[in-house]
Amino acid sequence: MARIALLPAGSVSHEAAVHLLGDKHELVHYKLISDVFTSTANGDTDYSVIPIENTIEGSVNLHMDWLVHEVDLPIQAEWVYPSIQNIVGRKQEIQGDWTTVKRVLSHPVAMAQCTQFLRKYLPHAEQEHVSSTSEAIRMVKNHSEEGWVAIGTRLGAATHQLDVLEPNVTDHDNNFTRFILVGQSPVTSAVESAAKTTMLVTLPEDFPGALHQVLAAFSWRRINLSRIESRPTKRQLGSYYFYIDVELSLDSILLPSAIEEIEALGCQVRVLGSYPSYSSKSWALEQPHNLEV
Amino acid sequence: MARIALLPAGSVSHEAAVHLLGDKHELVHYKLISDVFTSTANGDTDYSVIPIENTIEGSVNLHMDWLVHEVDLPIQAEWVYPSIQNIVGRKQEIQGDWTTVKRVLSHPVAMAQCTQFLRKYLPHAEQEHVSSTSEAIRMVKNHSEEGWVAIGTRLGAATHQLDVLEPNVTDHDNNFTRFILVGQSPVTSAVESAAKTTMLVTLPEDFPGALHQVLAAFSWRRINLSRIESRPTKRQLGSYYFYIDVELSLDSILLPSAIEEIEALGCQVRVLGSYPSYSSKSWALEQPHNLEV
């Protein structure tokens, strides 16, 4: 059994963590993503669950920057989980009649993802923005008799003993959030996964074509990049580093030689993790994955 | 005089907008960034102010995706503004005695940026997360006699007739937010600026080395990239497009020929804007810039 640090009970992070890890681990919830990271860095927990793409739970760039500047925790796994939002409240109060709803609470981005449903069924309801979907559900629990409902996760509803009044009210079905699991020990799993390595490449100086030379090292080896992103180094304006994800394990022969070549160009390369990546296709959403950690 | 759509009064967006545009325009505030975009797309306003990097005001990727998928508004200017957070409250209640503070309200990310100050001076105070720094200040206004304070902007304090109890309590000085101004008409300015062009490049298929070929078109012309970022197209998993910023105007000779070459490779190129970029060095923070729009 591992101790897993993550955002509050009922958050998308919580649903995604249960989905990857099953229910056999001890989940330790924190309000702030910085506290999540810190607990694992200090050894209070074994792993952190961090939303890193398409997320309504904080700033993506900030999370990656923490991983680079504040803590030294390798990425051990990656997975995607759908952002499914639901109308959450108390069935006995609302009774299937949307006109009785006075107020809808949620995180601003979650609310923006459900614009069509809100326009069609709840145009009369007042919209109130709170800091997270789990906070919205927590607040609705104490005010359900006043016609309050929340937009949030199914697990959030269960956590606070509320009902899902309408499932999946998001405008688009293709909202996925990407999560990473960071910690000191590798994970194992019987489920099919793709290999992935995340690197931080700092160019020696800001000269035209430097990035092109770095990518050539991958290109002629036919190594596929699945993400590239430039970020300011914060040391000086106009100085950048790059996150690069490649679809290859560090154990392969090709990748270490590509890294050597990039370092020979005068670049610094820091490997942030070499890990299994679980796609949404490789496992059923209904079934927790029970990753061994 | 132009009509400018932006996030609520007292937000970082508001401070940054006043800084770029001065006070001669009509500012129209919206709670949601989607409503900001929509108002300009519908012609209700002339420009939108959109935070796009290092932001505590919503999801950066989401804002860029809106620009690509939901509206067709060219970028007309870009500027950076420091994220300076302050302790905001009512001086007569707190009287310079931090032990009288019972509760600190702010956006979770703004609060995380002020960890050191909070640990040192307000360890006894309860922390409450709300949806934005301006909302935090609005709430403190009605509860200042109960020992509530907010973390937020100087302009937010002024907007709600509250005092800055302690200026600049952020842990690091190098927190800048990047903003863009989107709308149909170009802007003019006497202030020194750099030229920038933002493009969306979609690769013909997911083959290794395609991105490398795209970058070669910039590299041999010695065109400098200032940002590159891959994003899923949302059409299918594993299909990507790239945001690319180059430090060159579309009026230059080099850039259109680079774009032609990239299109000849089978890529789609969409120019999201070719515009002046104002760095933090080119103008004093104390003085509004009064951009002509």
Binary contact (A238, B229; C-beta < 8 A):
no
Q: Which residue has the higher pLDDT, A203 or A50?
A: A50
Q: Which residues of A touch B212 (CB under 8 A)?
A: 212, 215-216, 218-219
Instruction: Assign domain B196-276 to its CATH architecture.
Output: 2-Layer Sandwich (3.30)
Q: Is B1 on the interface with A (CB under 8 A)?
A: no
Binary contact (B215, A212; C-beta < 8 A):
yes
> Which pLDDT band holds residue B230 (cuts at 50, 70, 90)?
confident
Interface probe, candidates B63, B211, B234, chain A, greatest A C-beta count within 10 A:
B211
The residues near A268 (Cβ < 8 Å, ≥ 6 apart) are A200, A201, A202
Residue B202 has pLDDT above 80, yes or no: yes
Identify the pLDDT of residue B172: 79
> Which pLDDT band holds residue B52 (cuts at 50, 70, 90)?
confident
Q: How far apart are the C-alpha atoms of A5 and A17, rounded to whole Å?
A: 10
Q: How far apart are the C-alpha atoms of A121 and B182, rounded to whole Å?
A: 32
Residue A115 has pLDDT above 80, yes or no: yes
Binary contact (B228, A223; C-beta < 8 A):
no
**Mean pLDDT of all residues in A13-37:** 90
Query: A115-129, A215-229, B2-16, B151-165: which has the minimum mean pLDDT?
Result: A215-229
- Give the number of beta-carbon pairs within 8 Å between A and B: 133
Instruction: Assign domain A86-166 to its CATH architecture.
Output: 3-Layer(aba) Sandwich (3.40)
Identify the pLDDT of residue A193: 86
Q: Is A270 on the interface with B (CB under 8 A)?
A: no
* Domain range A3-82+175-183, its CATH number among 3.30.1300.10, 3.30.1330.40, 3.40.190.10, 3.30.160.20: 3.40.190.10
Residue A209 has pLDDT above 80, yes or no: no
| Among B61, B174, B237, beta carbon nearest to A234 | B174
> Which pLDDT band holds residue A172 (cuts at 50, 70, 90)?
confident
Task: Give the start-to-end residue ranges of the domains of chain B.
Answer: 3-81+175-184, 86-166, 196-276
Identify the pLDDT of residue A290: 63
Q: Is B111 on the interface with A (CB under 8 A)?
A: yes
Identify the pLDDT of residue A148: 96
Q: Which residues of B touch A130 (CB under 8 A)?
A: 130-131
Identify the pLDDT of residue A284: 47
Instruction: Say which CATH topology domain A194-275 has.
Output: Alpha-Beta Plaits (3.30.70)
State the smallest CA–CA distance between residue B131 and chain A in angstroms.
Answer: 4
DSSP string, A115-146: HHHHHHH-TTSEEEEBS-HHHHHHHHHTTGGG
Q: Which residues of A touch B237 (CB under 8 A)?
A: 279-281
Residue B239 has pLDDT above 70, yes or no: no
Q: Which residues of A touch B208 (CB under 8 A)?
A: 218-219, 222-225
Nearest to A258 by CA among A293, A195, A213, A291: A213
pLDDT in tens, B64-111: 778 888 888 999 999 988 878 999 999 988 777 899 999 999 988 888
| DSSP tag of B130 | B
Residue B237 has pLDDT above 70, yes or no: no
Q: Is B106 on the interface with A (CB under 8 A)?
A: no
State the smallest CA–CA distance between residue A28 and chain B in angstroms.
Answer: 18
| Among B112, B219, B242, beta carbon nearest to A34 | B112
Token pair listed for A287 = 């079934």
Residue B284 has pLDDT above 50, yes or no: no
State the smallest CA–CA distance between residue A113 and chain B in angstroms.
Answer: 10
Identify the pLDDT of residue A76: 95
Identify the pLDDT of residue B283: 46
Interface probe, candidates A225, A233, A262, A265, chain B, greatest B C-beta count within 10 A:
A225
> Which pLDDT band holds residue A283 (cuts at 50, 70, 90)?
very low
Q: How far apart are the C-alpha atoms of A267 and A257, rounded to whole Å?
A: 14
Interface probe, candidates B80, B132, B215, B247, chain A, greatest A C-beta count within 10 A:
B215
Identify the pLDDT of residue B208: 62
> Which pLDDT band holds residue A59 (cuts at 50, 70, 90)?
low
Q: Is B292 on the interface with A (CB under 8 A)?
A: no
State the smallest CA–CA distance between residue B203 and chain A in angstroms.
Answer: 12
Interior CA angle at A29 toward A109 and A52, to 5°?
45
Binary contact (B240, A220; C-beta < 8 A):
no
Q: Does domain B3-81+175-184 have CATH number 3.40.190.10?
A: yes
Contact status, residue B160 vs residue B137, Cβ threshold 8 Å: yes
Binary contact (A59, B60; C-beta < 8 A):
yes
For residue B7, the chain A residue with the least C-alpha distance is A108
- 9-68 in A: which are within 8 Å (CB) of B? 31-34, 53-56, 58-62
pLDDT in tens, A19-28: 888 888 999 9
State the smallest CA–CA distance between residue B37 and chain A in angstroms.
Answer: 12
Identify the pLDDT of residue A188: 81
Q: Is B71 on the interface with A (CB under 8 A)?
A: no
Binary contact (B127, A31; C-beta < 8 A):
yes
State the smallest CA–CA distance between residue A255 and chain B in angstroms.
Answer: 14
Q: Which residue has the higher pLDDT, A206 or B62?
A: B62
DSSP string, B40-54: HHTTSSSEEEEEEES
Residue B57 has pLDDT above 70, yes or no: no
In chain B, the percentage of residues whose pLDDT exceeds 90 is: 52
Nearest to B133 by CA among B92, B169, B87: B87
State the smallest CA–CA distance between residue A34 and chain B in angstroms.
Answer: 7
Q: How far apart are the C-alpha atoms of A228 and A215, rounded to whole Å?
A: 10
**Mean pLDDT of all residues in B189-204:** 87
pLDDT in tens, A120-150: 999 999 999 888 899 999 999 989 889 999 9
Mean per-residue pLDDT over chain A, rounded: 86
Binary contact (A130, B130; C-beta < 8 A):
yes
- How far lies B164's CA from each of A25, B130, B288, in Å? 45, 19, 20
Residue B1 has pLDDT above 90, yes or no: no
Nearest to A227 by CA among A243, A249, A211, A241: A243
Q: Does this chain's domain B3-81+175-184 share its CATH topology with B86-166?
A: yes
For residue B220, the chain A residue with the least C-alpha distance is A209
Q: Is B194 on the interface with A (CB under 8 A)?
A: no
Binary contact (B61, A58; C-beta < 8 A):
no
Mean per-residue pLDDT over chain B, rounded: 86
Burial class (CB in 10 A: 0-12, 13-18, 19+), A92: exposed
Token pair listed for A49 = 């669950």
